[in-house]
Amino acid sequence: MPRVALAVAVLAIYVYGLVDVIRTDRHLTRGFSKTTWIIMVALLPLIGAALWFLIGRPRASAVAQPVYQRHPTAPDDDPDFLRNLEQRRRKAEAERLRKLRDDVAKKNQADGGPHRTGATGSAGTTGTGSTGTGSTGAAPGTGSGSSGAGGPAAGEPGPRKPGAAGEANAEGNPEAK
C-alpha cells in the first residue's frame, strides 16, 4: 500500500507541475524559457517538477505585465502618424493656395491691371483683394439708368426671360402665357 501511495504522489506532482508550466504565461517564467521548462518536466518527472516549483515558477507577487509594441501595427492606428499626415496636408494646401495667388497676381500684372467686365468696361472691375477674389462696382446690366452703365440703352430691348413669348422651357415644352 505505501508503494501505491508513493506512485500516486509522484504522478500527482508530475501532472500538476506539467499543467502549471503549460498554464503559466511565458513572460513570467524564471530561469529558462517556457519551452525548456515543459521539456524538463516531461522528461524528468519528479526532478523537473521539483525544479519548476523551486526555481521556474513565478512568485505570487508577480503580475503579468502587458507587452506593448513600440509602434502600432497599422499606420492608421498611430496618432503621431495621423497628426503628421494632417500637418503635411495643411501645409501642401497652403502652398497650393499661395501659388494660385501668385499666379493670379502675375497674370494681372502682365495684363496691365485687374480685369474689367461689362459691355463698355465701365460697369465694374474684378480683381483680387486681401481676402481672395471679389468684384467691385455694379454687376453688368444693373446700371443706374445711364447708357454707359452696361445695361441696355434707351429704346433697346432688355434681356429675354426664358419662356416668354412662346419659347420652350428646359424640358422642351412650350410655355403658356
Question: Which pLDDT belongs to residue 69?
Answer: 60
pLDDT for 146: 46
Distances in whole angstroms, Cα of residue 84 to Cα of each of 78, 95, 97, 98: 10, 16, 20, 21
Distance CA 165, CA 177 (A): 7
The per-residue pLDDT for 50 is 87
How many Å apart are CA 113 and CA 169, to the nearest integer? Answer: 41
Least confident of 11-20, 22-31, 94-103, 121-130: 121-130
Which tops the pLDDT comparison, 30 or 67?
30
Average pLDDT over every residue of 108-126 = 61
pLDDT over 90 at 28, yes or no: no
Split at pLDDT 50, 70, 90, the class of 105 is: very high
Q: How far is CA 96 from CA 24, 59, 81, in A?
A: 58, 62, 22
32-88 per-position pLDDT tens digit: 888 998 998 889 888 988 888 888 888 776 555 666 666 556 777 778 888 888 899
How do the domains of the chain map onto residue ranges?
Answer: 2-56, 75-111
> pLDDT at position 63, please?
59
144 pLDDT above the threshold of 50: no
C-alpha grid cell, residue 138: 455694379
**What is the predicted pLDDT for the residue at 124?**
46
Q: What are phi and psi of 12, to 5 degrees?
A: -65, -45
Instruction: Tell me the pTM.
Output: 0.35
Task: Place 168 in a pLDDT band, splitting at 50, 70 and 90.
Answer: low
